[in-house]
Structure formats: C-alpha cells, structure tokens
Amino acid sequence: MLNTKLTKNLAKCIWCKNAVVLRFKPMAQWNLAGDGYLCGDCYQKKLAEYYLTPDRRNLTKQSNRNA
Ligand SMILES: [Zn+2]
C-alpha cells in the first residue's frame, strides 16, 4: 500500500508516536530525546507548557519586583 510506504518514510513524533508530516524540532530545554521531532500538536502543547511553567512565572515576578 502506498499509504504504508509513505508513513514509513515519515518521521515519528517522539511524543505521541504518530507519523509527522510537518516536523518540529523540540527545544533543548524540554529535555526530550535528542534527535527526534515533534508533530505540530505536540510542539504547540510543549511550547505552551514551557512558557507557562510556574518557575518561569516566578522568575518574571521576581524581576518585576526588582525593577
Ligand atoms: Zn505528537
């Protein structure tokens, strides 16, 4: 089947394991397996998680207080 062949050649998302057409390289800070790619959905989720982590919020608060 042509579809199976295509899917085989596609990279797999290292998060959801689905074949990805549009590959997104994860940021090093996300601590994901080094040489893989994410699908668009997982990339967006990870991106949102990364920018909404409590740690970063605290950092921002602190720097605001100092300023
Ligand atoms: Zn994914």
- In this prediction the pTM is 0.63
* Count of domains observed in the chain: 1
Residue 24 located in a structural domain: yes
Residue 2 located in a structural domain: no
Report pLDDT digits (tens) over 20-35.
989 999 988 888 866 7
The per-residue pLDDT for 39 is 95
Range of the domain at 52: 10-66
Cα 60 to middle of ligand 1, angstroms: 29
Cα 3 to middle of ligand 1, angstroms: 19
Q: Please, which residues have CB within 8 angstroms of residue 12's CB and are 6 or more apart in sequence?
A: 18, 19, 20, 36, 37
Residue 41 located in a structural domain: yes
In this structure, is the dihedral angle defined by the CA atoms of residues 24, 13, 57 and 59, taken in order, positive or negative? Answer: negative
Cα 67 to middle of ligand 1, angstroms: 39
Cα 62 to middle of ligand 1, angstroms: 34
Which candidate, 44, 37, 47, 3, places its Cα nearest to that of 17? 37
Residue 25 located in a structural domain: yes
Residue 14 located in a structural domain: yes
Report pLDDT digits (tens) over 35-52.
789 999 999 999 999 888
Cα 19 to middle of ligand 1, angstroms: 8
Residue 3 located in a structural domain: no
Residue 38 located in a structural domain: yes
Q: Output 59 or 32, whichever has higher pLDDT.
A: 32
